Amino acid sequence: MDGNGRWAEKQGSEDRIDGHERGAKVLCDIVEEAKALGVEYLTFYTFSTENWSRPEKEVDFILADLLPRYLEQKMDFMVKEQVRFKALGDIQALPDHTQELIKRVEDATVEFSEIHANLALNYSGRSEILNAVKDIAAKASEDPSVIDSLDEDKFRNYLYDPELPDPDLLIRTSGELRVSNFLLWQLAYTEIYITDVLWPDFTKEEFRQAVGEFGKRDRRYGGV
């Protein structure tokens, strides 16, 4: 969800958090539109492990104000729309109140399966893989056969959400041309759509356009 800071600046705002506030609103629109289009999984890159290096005020705003506020406000919406909510990442480092709300919304939506909305929070693709490797090593020290029988499908069981399918489409807003440590294992054959639109200006129509563009791609998975 890139471009929040630039959006705030473009509005003449002194404060980047105005962009995040607007960005959270857009997120909800996109969940609605995705559901209408029959998209089953959405994962929003909300806060990376690298984002801790931002000014404390901005970090606190995202993690201790905006996020818990929206989780509380949108819980009924998610239950009504049957949205399965999950957080991906090292959640234990988040403020206690935010962790409690994450757990509450995850529990309240655990039965749903039509659409999954995931927030990558304190997330790093490299850490996700590294944690998986450490868990495998710990298991293998008791049962060496774990290594011999390890394959790509089994490796997935050690990721934050083993049930998360590889994404079909990665949408990158604000014209950035990087993967930025996002879902590194899962993105192996993901189609990439890049738009110059800043995340707070991203609309249901833009999302529809990205999905339409995806529909025209010829996916060969290394074949011919």
Contacts of ligand FPP in 176-195 (CB under 6 A): none
d(C-alpha 2, C-alpha 201), whole Å: 11
Q: How many CB atoms lie within 10 A of CB 55?
A: 10
d(C-alpha 9, C-alpha 6), whole Å: 5
Smallest gap from Cβ 150 to ligand FPP, in A, equals 34
Stretch that binds ligand FPP, among 20-28, 100-108, 126-134, 150-158 (CB under 6 A): 20-28
- Residue number of the CB closest to ligand FPP reads 5
Smallest gap from Cβ 106 to ligand FPP, in A, equals 14
Smallest gap from Cβ 200 to ligand FPP, in A, equals 8
d(C-alpha 117, C-alpha 28), whole Å: 10
Closest CB to ligand FPP among residues 27, 34: 27
Q: DSSP class of residue 174?
A: T
- Contact mark string toward ligand FPP, 102..141, x via CB under 6 A: -----------------x----------------------
For every residue of 75-105, DSSP letters joined together read HHHHHHTTEEEEEES-GGGS-HHHHHHHHHH
Establish whether 2 is a catalytic residue.
yes
Radius of gyration (C-alpha) of the chain in whole angstroms: 18
Positions touching ligand FPP (CB under 6 A) are 1-6, 16, 20, 23-24, 27, 46, 51, 62, 66-67, 70, 119, 174
